[in-house]
Structure 1
Amino acid sequence: MPPRKASATASTEPPRRSSRIVSQPKEEPKVATKAAAGSKKRPATAAAASDDAAAPEDGSSAMKKAKSGKAKSDEDDPLAAEEAKLAKIEIGDVLPGVTLKNEKGEDIDVAGLALEKGVVFFLVPKADTPGCTNQACGFRDIYPDFTSLNYDVYCLSADSPAAQTKWQTKKELPYPLISDPKRVLITALGAGEGGKTKRSHFIFEKGGRLLDKRLPVNAKDSPNIALEFIKSL
C-alpha cells in the first residue's frame, strides 16, 4: 500500500512550546539587582561633613588658621599685648602706661600713680611669706615718713588680689598692693626672671621718672634704704 501524505494543516502549524517553560519568569541580572540595592544616597550635609573630616589640611590653610588664632589670642588678652610693648625701664625712664589691678580688683593706671606724687614700688616674691612679710612690715612701720616727703608706697607682686587683700588685712598694711600675675611691669623693671619675682625696690619722682633701683635688696634693709635715698634728694 502506498504511504499516506501528511496533512497540509499539520505541516504548516508551528511546533508547540512546553507550557512549563513559557510560564517561568525571566531572571533579572544579579549585578543590576545589587546595584539597585546599594543606591541609597547619603544626605548632602552628612556627606560634606564626612568629606571635610577625611580631607587632609594643606599647609597654607593650617598656616592661615594658626595666624588667625594668634591674632585672636592677642586681642582677647590685653596684658599679652601690653607686655610686648613694655621695654626695660632704666634710670631716667618713665613709668609705662600699663593697667594692672590693686588688691581690691580695681583697674589702676600705673603711669597715673606718679602724676602728683613720687612713688616707691617694693617688689616681693610671694605674699605672706616670712621674708616678704618682714619687708612689707618695714615699709608699714615708717610709712608716715614717706608720705610726709610726698611719696606714696606700693607693694608689687604676682599674687592675686584676693591673696593680697588677705595679707594686707592680716598685717595691717596701710598702702595699696598691686597685682601683676603675668609679671608685665615686674619684668619691665628687670625683676622678673624664670617665672619668679626678685626682691627689690624702685623709686620714681613726681612725673614718673625712675631715680633709683635696688635689685636685689635685703628684705629688712629695703625700707630704710629707700627712705634715706628720698631724704638725700
Structure 2
Amino acid sequence: MGLKVGTKIPLFTLPDSNGNNFSIQELLGKKPLVIYFYPKNNSPGCTTEACDFRDSYEDFVALGAEVIGISADSAKSHARFGAKYGLPFILLSDKHNTVRKLFKIKNSLLLLPGRETYVIDKTGTVIMVFNSINASEHKKRALKTLLSMNK
C-alpha cells in the first residue's frame, strides 16, 4: 500500500486532459480531495470506476470535495475518455508514473498499475486509503469517509 493515513500528500504538477499543467497546490487548503489512481482509460474496471465517480460527483461537490483521477494515459486519451463518458472531474496524465511513485503505489496483478483511492482533508493530510482491484468499491468508500468527516 502507498501513503498512510495521517501523512501529508506530496506536492505535484501534472498535465490535465486539456494539456494544461495542474498543480495540486491550487486546491490544497481550499477543499477536501478524492484522488484515485487507476490503471487505464477505457478498460472495463476503470470505466466502471470513472462512471461511479461521475454518477456521484454532485454528492462529492455537495460535501465540498473535488475528485481527481490519475493514470499513465496521455492528456489526449484523457480528453477522449472524459468526453466519451461525460466525466465532470479532473483527469491527470502521469505518463512516467512520477506521482504514482511519490504516493508509493505498487503494481497489482503482475504488471497492472495499482488501483488506489485517497481522501485528503483541506490541509493535505491523508484521511483514507483504499487499495482494491474491485473498482466499484472506491467511490463508496470515499463518499462514506467524506460523509463521516462532515458530521
Percentage of pairs with the same residue? 29
1:109 is aligned to 23
- 1:119 is aligned with what amino acid? L
1:198 to 114, 119, 123: 114
Residues 1:227 and 2:143 are matched in the alignment: yes
Please say if 1:156 is aligned against 2:70: yes
The Cα of 1:119 is off from its aligned counterpart by 0.3
Contact 1:96–1:111 (CA under 8 A) maintained in structure 2: no
Equivalent pair of 1:140/1:173 in contact (CA under 8 Å): yes
* Map of 2:90 onto structure 1: 176
In 1, Cα distance between equivalents of 2:41 and 2:61: 23
Counterparts in 2 of 1:226 and 1:102: CA distance versus 1, 3 Å:
same
**CA separation in 2, counterparts of 1:173 and 1:205?**
23
**CA deviation string 1:94-152 (max 9, x = no partner):** 22222211111111112332220000011110001111000000000010001111110
Q: State whether residues 91 and 212 of structure 1, in contact with CA within 8 Å, keep that contact through their aligned partners in structure 2.
A: yes
Query: CA distance change for structure 1 residues 112 and 192 in 2, over 3 Å: closer, same or farther?
Result: farther
Runs of 4+ in 1 over 6 A off after TM superposition: none
Length, aligned pairs only: 146
Q: Flag the structure with higher strand content.
A: 2
SS in 2 for 1:169: helix
Q: What's the Cα RMSD here?
A: 1.6
Tell me, in whole angstroms, the C-alpha distance in 2 between the residues paired with 1:114 and 1:128.
29
2:81 is aligned to: 167
Aligned partner of 1:208 among 100, 120, 124? 124
Q: Deviations over 1:4-25 (max 9, x none)?
A: xxxxxxxxxxxxxxxxxxxxxx
1:216 is displaced (CA, Å) by 2.2
3-state SS in 1 of match to 2:136: coil
Question: Residue 150 and residue 209 in structure 1: after superposition, are their counterparts in 2 closer, same or farther (change >3 A)?
Answer: same
**Does the CA-based 8 Å contact 1:158-1:181 persist in structure 2?**
yes
Provide the TM-score with structure 1 as the length reference.
0.59
- Counterpart of 1:221 in 2: which secondary structure? helix
Q: How far does the alpha carbon of each residue in 1:142-185 deviate from its partner, in whole angstroms, 9 at most, with x for none?
A: 10001111110011111100001000000000101011111111
Task: Name the counterpart of 1:141.
Answer: 55
Deviations 1:1-56 (A, max 9, x none): xxxxxxxxxxxxxxxxxxxxxxxxxxxxxxxxxxxxxxxxxxxxxxxxxxxxxxxx
Amino acid at match of 1:155: G
CA distance in 1, matches of 2:20, 2:3: 24
Q: Give the match's secondary structure for 1:138.
A: helix
**CA–CA distance in structure 1, aligned partners of residues 102 and 25 of structure 2:** 13
Gaps of 5+ in 1: 1-87
Q: Deviations over 1:168-214 (max 9, x none)?
A: 00000010101111111112223243764211210100121111100
The TM-score, its normalising length taken from structure 2, stands at 0.89
Residues in 2 aligned to 1:133 and 1:223: alpha-carbon distance in whole angstroms: 13
Aligned residue runs from structure 1 range 41-80, under 5 A: none
